Structure 1
């Protein structure tokens, strides 16, 4: 199985940290933020469950741009072969 070597950028890690510390952040935003931070500075890849959550967030009109940015970051770190 191929390995995706992308990692969370410093800017995205900062957004994720802010999201997690904000009491007004939605549950999905916090979930995506936690996933992004877990992949910061490691070779961890996005789980299939998080891929699904991130995909739904990107397709929905109800989420903020910040949430969609986190979703895009999480998806960019997904296993390449799983999407095929």
Structure 2
């Protein structure tokens, strides 16, 4: 299944803020990097990046910008195929 989603300008901005934040976790920065990679392309989120993004979304201490970037990265992960 091909995903046609791209990272929005607002999500790209949030991802950039997360990458510049010295207190952001490694998982948050991984999700932000994945979201930024997909800004101008049709790339999809890897399984590892999706896992880290899910951790960021469930973290009570993650910033709003980190959660925005993580959500964008997860949106661009291909869904499971049904048999």
After TM superposition, the score normalised by the length of structure 1 is: 0.83
Structure that is richer in helix per residue? 1
- Please report the TM-score for the alignment, with normalisation by the length of structure 2: 0.83
Separation in 2 of the partners of 1:9 and 1:72? 11
Structure 1 unaligned regions, length at least 5? none
Give structure 1 regions of 4+ aligned residues with deviation exceeding 6 angstroms. Answer: none
Q: Describe the superposition over 1:19-64 as per-residue Cα deviations: whole angstroms up to 9, x where unpaired.
A: 2123232222211111100011101000111111111222232322
Deviation at 1:6, TM superposition (A): 0.2
Number of aligned residue pairs: 82
Gaps of 5+ in 2: none
In the alignment, which residue of structure 1 is the partner of 2:49?
Answer: 50
CA RMSD of aligned residues (A): 1.6
Contact 1:3-1:80 within 8 A present in 2 as well: no
- The answer to whether the 8 A contact 2:28-2:52 is kept is no
Greater CA deviation, 60-69 or 2-11? Answer: 60-69
